[in-house]
Amino acid sequence: MADNHYKLWLNYYPIENTIIKNSIVKHFNNIQVLNNDATIDIIKKELNIASAGFINRDVKFNTPNSETGLLIGTLDKLPNNIAQRLDGEFKSHEGFAIFQHNNTIVITALSTVGLLYGTYNLLENIGANYPLTGVKNFSEPLIQHRILNHWDNLNGTVERGYSGASIFNWHTLPDYIDQRYIDYARANASIGINGTVLTNVNSNATILTGTYLQKVKALANVFRPFGIKVYLSARFSAPIELGKLKTADPLNADVQQWWANKINEIYDSIPDFGGFVVKANSEGQPGPQDYNRTHADGANMLAKILLPKKGIVMWRAFVYSHEQNEDRHKQAYNEFTKLDGQFLPNVMVQVKNGAIDFMPREPFHPLFGAMPKTPLMLELQITQEYLGQATTLAYLAPMYKEVLDSDTYAEGKGSTIGKLLHNQKLNGIAGVANIGADINWTGHLFGQSNWFAFGKQSWNYNASPKEIADTWLKLTFKASDNFYQDISKIMLNSREAVVKYSNPLGLHHLMGTGHHYGPEPWANYLPREDWNPTYYHKADSFDIGFNRTKTGSNALSQYKPEVQQQWQNEDSIDLKYLLWFHHVNWNKKLNTGRTLWNELCYQYQSGCDDVKNMITTWQKYKNELDMPTFNHVNMLLNIQYKEAVWWRNSSTLYFQTFSKLPFPQFLEKSDKTLEYYQSLKFPYAPGHH
């Protein structure tokens, strides 16, 4: 049976280059490991798995009378003459160094988890066919908390999950340890992810009962030696639901005592428990505002108890009020900036990359740089809720890089989000996982690249999306250099293609209602105005777009003046943000030489053309790949093309009802009517909570 890609990027394909192969044989023939703990056991196991794959041999440890090929040990255990050769000073217990000493490759670190990271790094280099000789690497994470957020429910479903059921089988835990849990931990550790929130932010208090905490403990025990901490989402009303209290008021002594007891109970089972993520007073979730307390009151109540235990609180900023009719873009900023300085030091305010909701492209969230006294945590989405779900090839590293490189000007030019995070005493990046029980974990094989990239970029926000793609491709496919080059190009262009055919020129929130599948820019029937696509595009017979300048909602005022200056003028703003901030006349001539209407049509068409090109490129490699792998991607690309055309046709037909302008010639004619597209219903689209 052909490759089903369960192994992710840990394939350890046989090395064909004889020189590299011989060099591996030499180095793996005598490995000395100077430490001894559960993490070291994992290092040894991983070396065995890798060696079996790369060179079809067992590794040998501590071979007598033989030169050491690979020396693995924490810095304090290294012989002095070797330790002295370390080129750099560790600032993090997670950092590692790899260097050559005579004929020996040395991996060192301050902790065994650092050694594990170093080992994975070495194996990755081998897998990507880089020569071992002269290997040299000194790497430390720029971000402390690199955390997956699973929106997994206790009944096994996954909110916004498109790759099968939850991998966490709460029913059979704690007694059944699925091999998946181990392989999940291996995959995460191999890319530097060091934390996982096991449960949905739309939380269920049951996870905090004794029975379930024993299940969490079992997972924590599996993950611990991989350097991965577990976290849970905390339902703010748990003291009522589980504790039978009358209130969950964070200033109530009984409530505080209930949480203190609960947190003690957790730490009794899981001494290195990571802490809580909390979605409070947001989309119907309970929170401190139910008791006229602030988000700071709520977060600090938990943080105070967690502080001596080294636990943290990740308090989500994704709030928008039921009462206010304010531009949703502005609400988190309004709610949170006034609380700056009020949070305990082990609280991070967790902020999505943009102010709306994980759109294919958003300008960066105005909270970044706006709360200098509060550590912010960046929340990215790996699952493709708004980027075609699991039938779309959209490589997200360029999007993450765009966010991390965004200059807030908070401390002058160059105050990128990445740097701001790094400079915080406490920092972290969360990624909403795209992982499910599908054999290949992510539904779309290329979804694996987004999990991979998230790990790499949260370790090092300067990492190059191209280099990440190149490495991932080599680890994932046994193919030719031409394949790697061509498919790397596809990947790097893929997110932009999705933007073009679904959310061009700064348009946003045009997707199907509820399930968020496909286009529904005409939807205007939802009870909250700001849940409707029509609220966001504001098309009329003259103009289209959301005026967020001074003459509109003035969300733009939440940014620093330098940023405002970039975006405030519809003539000079980067076209990618044009309709995000401006309500623009259909006939306005843009610097592309086209009118707005024609440019919009051009973007839709161009996105479709891009997908067509992706298909052509993929099909060039039919004979290089095993059939199931080729077919998998080929079928999905064809679905993506269908969906791109659906976006293009339905959106241009719909917007034409406002613009009343003729379609430019380059736009392919729709073979369906707008009414047809409007009639489509998807009652069982996946991932809808």
- The C-alpha atoms of residue 354 and residue 352 are separated, in whole angstroms, by 5
Q: Is 451 helix (H, G, I), strand (E, B) or coil?
A: helix
* Per-residue burial over 550-579, b = 16 or more CB atoms within 10 Å of its CB, e = otherwise: eebbebbebbbeebbebbbebeebebbbbb
Instruction: Give the nearest distance from C-beta 681 to its own copies in angstroms.
Output: 9
Instruction: Give the nearest distance from C-beta 72 to its own copies in angstroms.
Output: 22
Instruction: Give the nearest distance from C-beta 220 to its own copies in angstroms.
Output: 17
Q: Is 367 helix (H, G, I), strand (E, B) or coil?
A: coil
Residue 628 binds to its own copies (criterion: CB under 8 A): yes
> According to CB under 8 A, which residues from 133 to 162 bind its own copies?
154-157
Q: Which of 265, 272, 340, 357 is catalytic?
A: 357
Residue 622 binds to its own copies (criterion: CB under 8 A): no
Question: Nearer to its own copies by C-beta: 306 or 633?
Answer: 633
Tell me the sheet residues that pair with 522: none
- The C-alpha atoms of residue 5 and residue 133 are separated, in whole angstroms, by 30
Residue 240 binds to its own copies (criterion: CB under 8 A): no
Residue 222 binds to its own copies (criterion: CB under 8 A): no
Walk across the sheet containing 31-33 and list its strands. Answer: 31-33, 70-72, 104-109, 96-101, 137-139
| Residues 505/517, Cβ–Cβ less than 8 Å | no
CB proximity list for 469: less than 8 A, separation 6 or greater: 395, 397, 449, 453, 488, 491, 492
Residue 56 binds to its own copies (criterion: CB under 8 A): no
Question: Nearer to its own copies by C-beta: 414 or 683?
Answer: 683
Instruction: Give the nearest distance from C-beta 642 to its own copies in angstroms.
Output: 7
- The C-alpha atoms of residue 510 and residue 521 are separated, in whole angstroms, by 4
Instruction: Give the nearest distance from C-beta 122 to its own copies in angstroms.
Output: 20
Q: Is 72 helix (H, G, I), strand (E, B) or coil?
A: strand
| Residues 488/622, Cβ–Cβ less than 8 Å | no
Q: Which of 54, 96, 170, 597 is close enough to bind its own copies by CB under 8 A?
A: 170
> According to CB under 8 A, which residues from 524 to 583 bind its own copies?
none
Residue 639 binds to its own copies (criterion: CB under 8 A): yes
Instruction: Give the nearest distance from C-beta 78 to its own copies in angstroms.
Output: 32
Question: Nearer to its own copies by C-beta: 38 or 439?
Answer: 439
The single residue listed with the structure tokens 């992710």 is 8
Residue 438 binds to its own copies (criterion: CB under 8 A): yes
Residue 686 binds to its own copies (criterion: CB under 8 A): yes
Active site residue 385: yes
Distance set, CA 511 to CA 122, 327, 360 (Å): 43, 19, 11
Instruction: Give the nearest distance from C-beta 157 to its own copies in angstroms.
Output: 8
Q: Which stretch binds its own copies (CB under 8 A): 67-75, 143-151, 261-269, 636-644?
A: 636-644
Question: Nearer to its own copies by C-beta: 3 or 335?
Answer: 3
Residue 632 binds to its own copies (criterion: CB under 8 A): yes
| Residues 639/391, Cβ–Cβ less than 8 Å | yes
Q: Which of 385, 438, 496, 599 is catalytic?
A: 385
Question: Nearer to its own copies by C-beta: 50 or 132?
Answer: 50
> According to CB under 8 A, which residues from 352 to 391 bind its own copies?
390-391
- The C-alpha atoms of residue 337 and residue 358 are separated, in whole angstroms, by 21
Q: Which of 44, 77, 85, 183 is close enough to bind its own copies by CB under 8 A?
A: 183
Q: Which stretch binds its own copies (CB under 8 A): 164-172, 269-277, 285-293, 488-496?
A: 164-172
Residue 615 binds to its own copies (criterion: CB under 8 A): no
Residue 172 binds to its own copies (criterion: CB under 8 A): yes
| Residues 291/248, Cβ–Cβ less than 8 Å | yes
CA angle 444, 449, 451 (to 5 degrees): 95
Site string for its own copies, 10-49 (x = CB under 8 A): ---------------------------------------x
DSSP 627-660: HHHHHHHHHHHHHHHHHHHHHHHHHHHHHHHHH-
Q: Which of 91, 462, 467, 635 is close enough to bind its own copies by CB under 8 A?
A: 635
Distance set, CA 579 to CA 364, 419, 526, 533, 547 (Å): 15, 28, 22, 13, 8
Q: Which of 37, 67, 76, 283 is catalytic?
A: 283
Query: Residue 77 carries which side chain, given as an amino acid letter?
Result: K
- The C-alpha atoms of residue 230 and residue 216 are separated, in whole angstroms, by 8
Judged by CB under 8 A, how many residues of this single chain contact its own copies? 40
Q: Which secondary-structure segment (H or E) carries 459?
A: helix 447-459
| Residues 643/518, Cβ–Cβ less than 8 Å | yes
Question: Nearer to its own copies by C-beta: 287 or 686?
Answer: 686
Active site residue 152: no
Instruction: Give the nearest distance from C-beta 628 to its own copies in angstroms.
Output: 5
Active site residue 46: no
Catalytic site positions: 283, 357, 385
Q: Which spans of this chain sit near its own copies (rule: CB under 8 A)?
A: 1-2, 4, 6-7, 49, 154-157, 164-165, 170-172, 175-177, 179-180, 183, 206, 390-391, 437-439, 628, 631-632, 635-636, 638-639, 642, 682-686
